[in-house]
Chains A and B, each alone.
Chain A
Amino acid sequence: MHKAVELKPHYLHNKASMESDTSTKKPTSFWNEHLIKVGKSQDRRSFKALYEHFGPLLKSYFMSKFPNQYSLQMMDELVQETMIKVWQKAGSYDQSKAAASTWVFTLARNTRIDMLRRQNKYANTTSIETEDIWEDSTENGPYHMLQSHRQADDIRESLEKLPEEQALVIRKVYMESKSHSEVAEELNLPLGTVKSRVRLAQNKLQSLIQ
């Protein structure tokens, strides 16, 4: 068991550290290109760069969902499982449809769902795979969503500007992977309040994405 780590997304508490963090200053295309190299030629150097950037973020993502139930080793295993998917699926990554970070986020989400489904005896009664329901970001639809560095910056800035109460709910929904009712229960709020905070925040954030 590991102690609950206080996870501080930079946009909530620590603007300065974000500004000094060089990894977030890399243009969006930087990670896309590494991913493409892994897909085309199993480039290990690119894969290592991706691992060093995304691995610790993925661990943070899994830890915020499971702060106390599982060991740190288990968290590392979930990171490994996600990165194995990155390696195996990089060939189908299409940067015209999603930024590397978006794509990795969907793989991490599916790894977490896979883990929960493995523990659910009913899930084994079907041939439905997680990806049949939650598709990897770039397999879905014909859209070209060129995600510029500018756009990612805008979303980040907008996250920082959200009123604290909306930012908190949004973080729990996205990064702690909690359902609206779980958030309502945890924060002791009516479900309707959680829903409207999510909607308000969502409107602001989505309006930035064409």
Chain B
Amino acid sequence: MIQHHPDDNLLVEFANGTLDTAQAIAVNTHLHFCTKCQQNVQRIEQIGGVMLATLEPQPLAEDSFDKLMDSLEALPATTAKKALSPKPQRSENSKEAEELSKQYGPLPTVVTKMINNRSLKWRHVNSSLETRPLVAGQQIHQVSLQKINAGGIVPEHDHRGTEMTVILKGSFSDKQGIYQEGDFVVKQPGDIHQPISASNIDCLCLSVESAPVKLTGFWGRILNPFIKHYAA
């Protein structure tokens, strides 16, 4: 049962297309698991549709419809087929994506595409945490997969910016709560935590950070320089 959701403000920005790409990917990934938020997004879109009809109509060029029909006719004949068939078949997935979905179950399309996009190595942050960068077609956020081994403890850390995490498989807990598959967790600067993975299963997460996390405590002094290096 999903307990942690994006707040209304975030969903409104998402549904109006004003959230930046990486954060929108985090919300989309949560929607993959959460029917309640899918419904809320639909409600927001419905309000958008009603508001669209209340705008002051702006005249279009007189011949614009004919021009539109001309350009539709000029399109390849696939139009009719495309209109009647469902989504085109997805391209083949990379070996890495196949293996991950075998191990963790089907992943959201957008996550799979980011894995397909470029094969990048997993790096150990410490003995229980591994991370793999993802290319999301933007430059504002760091997007990555994070894996905490079953029973693993992530060093206590603070956050330099907003971090959104969506749990894809398994669960972890910290002092604030327990986060399970599909949960959407937001941490802000000052939210210091020490995530601990459930003992029986690896925890796989999608993470979107506006700035790299900052480790605190003993591990921080040792690992921060590495994280900085990795972020660059």
Contact = CB atoms under 8 A, between A and B. Distances in A.
Instruction: Please say whether chains A and B are actual partners in one complex.
Output: yes
Interface of A: 5, 7-11, 18, 23-24, 39, 42, 44, 48, 51-52, 54-61, 63-64, 75-76, 79-80, 83-84, 87-92, 97-106, 108-110, 112-113, 117, 120, 122-128, 132-135, 137, 139-143, 145, 147, 152, 155-156, 159, 170-171, 173-175, 177-180, 182, 195, 198-199, 202-203, 205-206, 209
Given A48-B65, A60-B57, A126-B117, A177 B136 contact: no
Nearest to B80: A42
Nearest to A2: B58
Prevailing SS type, chain B contact patch: helix
Prevailing SS type, chain A contact patch: helix
A18 B71 CA distance: 33
Contacts of A135: 28
Given A57-B57, A105-B52, A175-B55, A123 B17 contact: no
A76 B64 CA distance: 8
Interface string B81-112: 01111110001000000000000000001100
Given A159-B54, A175-B55, A206-B43, A103 B24 contact: no
Interface of B: 8-9, 12-19, 21, 24-25, 28, 31, 35, 38-61, 64-65, 67-69, 71-72, 75, 79-80, 82-87, 91, 109-110, 113-114, 116-117, 135-139
